[in-house]
Structure 1
């Protein structure tokens, strides 16, 4: 089958199209013929050799964490009735025509949800919903979403808005800010401009936001923390800045800000599957609209990575095997 391999750590050019053996389902597994594969920023970091202490990936490997497609084969112990079903599947090796997935990492697609829409929710839908479980928002709250035009950020804007919160969206560039406004943000701020965090505080009357979701990480995440009011909540989940956001515990305690590093929490498979089903149900009823910025043929995976690293993507990038 056709697949993309990372033969060595490096830039987007190390993503090479190759013919590899078709995968075979083992006990408790299925083979999924992918129609759309998810691409996330973490893929670009791992390809470059980052995060080995957290994600022990070694070349050669097929990147990608899954996608949407049709079950074409089942392994021992799996009901053959799965064959032919449209599913969303998590697992390794998603940049390929076919992938193997464990049966407990499958969710059947509602009939009204298409391939690309489903694939766009595979990771970011779970992330957005799990973040709101970490820090629930309610009507009347003021919520900052940083990296608001990203895959998870664009979903957080929609979910917080539908909960009745006042949403401040931070992103880089007018194109991304316009998208955030279209999705329901009440206030938008360009975090490419110096002092942007002070404009966020000004928009709250100087008090700061009740909840901040940091999808950026690194130094930018520290500026996101500065926007949180006394007694507020700060949730970080981004690494687009090249690393995690480190917050001084003493400073957080002084301001009585509750700090949560969502990247330090690994959801078990049952919880992930529950959140996947919830995200798909929201999409089926139009409560969530994944923003798909670009779809690329599988052989052009390097283009998707290049655009993500250049911060040129407003919304999701997907691969079409």
Structure 2
């Protein structure tokens, strides 16, 4: 099963899982379910994960290391929502995994600027369509933030003046 058609994370309940399936995911596992990592090999037909895009940090990535393809698996680390990842170089070395850090605000900003025109063109001709969760008055900004913090939004929240 191609890794780009597989989604291992859909936090936020049934609406987000359903949305991921509607968008073409073959399998959706909820990382808030205690035993979700045990279902990864079955979901991949016995294969390991080739790439993990890690934005959570903390203990999150450590739970995935044993589900990764030994010798060639890669962790692309780009966020620390729950703090520094709780893994060591030895955790990677024992499994032959590679950790790649994706960061650097200057480089990221330059890439965004370079891609902006193409992204806007794709949106204008319908090749890319954002999912709009809700449109709220600016006075409800606090509610919008609560929905985002609680991971209740399925798509973008637009605040209107």
Mapped to 1, the partners of 2:6 and 2:73 lie a distance apart of: 15
Give the secondary-structure state (helix, strand or coil) at the position aligned to 1:219.
coil
Q: Which residue of 2 aligns with 1:166?
A: 5
Does structure 1 residue 306 correspond to structure 2 residue 120? no
Structure 2 length as normaliser, TM-score?
0.81
Shift of 1:225: 4.2
| Structure 2 stretches lacking a partner, 5+ long | none
Q: Which has the higher contact order (CA 8 A, sep 6+)?
A: 1
Higher strand share: 1
Separation in structure 1 between the aligned mates of residue 106 and residue 42 of structure 2, nearest angstrom? 36
Kindly tell me: are residues 284 and 303 of structure 1, through their superposed partners in 2, closer, same or farther at Cα, counting changes over 3 Å?
same
Match for residue 33 of structure 2 among 193, 200, 205 = 193
Distance change in 2, residues 1:167/1:302 (3 Å): same
Over aligned residue pairs, what C-alpha RMSD do you find?
2.3
Q: Highest Rg: 1 or 2?
A: 1
- Note if contact 2:57-2:85 (Cα within 8 Å) is conserved in structure 1: yes
Structure with more helix by fraction: 2
- Which runs of 5 or more residues in structure 1 are unaligned? 1-139, 143-164
1: CA distance, partners of 2:91 / 2:110? 36
- Displacement of 1:193 after TM fit? 1.2
What secondary structure is seen at the aligned counterpart in 2 of 1:229? coil
Partner SS for 1:319: strand
Partner of residue 218 from structure 1, selected from 52, 58, 76: 58
Distance 2:18 2:133 in 1: 14
- After the TM superposition, which residues 144-163 of structure 1 pair with which residues of structure 2 at under 5 Å, given as runs? none
Q: Structure 2 vs 1, CA of residues 317 and 217 (structure 1 numbering), >3 Å: closer, same or farther? A: farther
Q: What TM-score results when the alignment is normalised by the length of structure 1?
A: 0.44
Q: Secondary structure at the match of 2:115?
A: helix
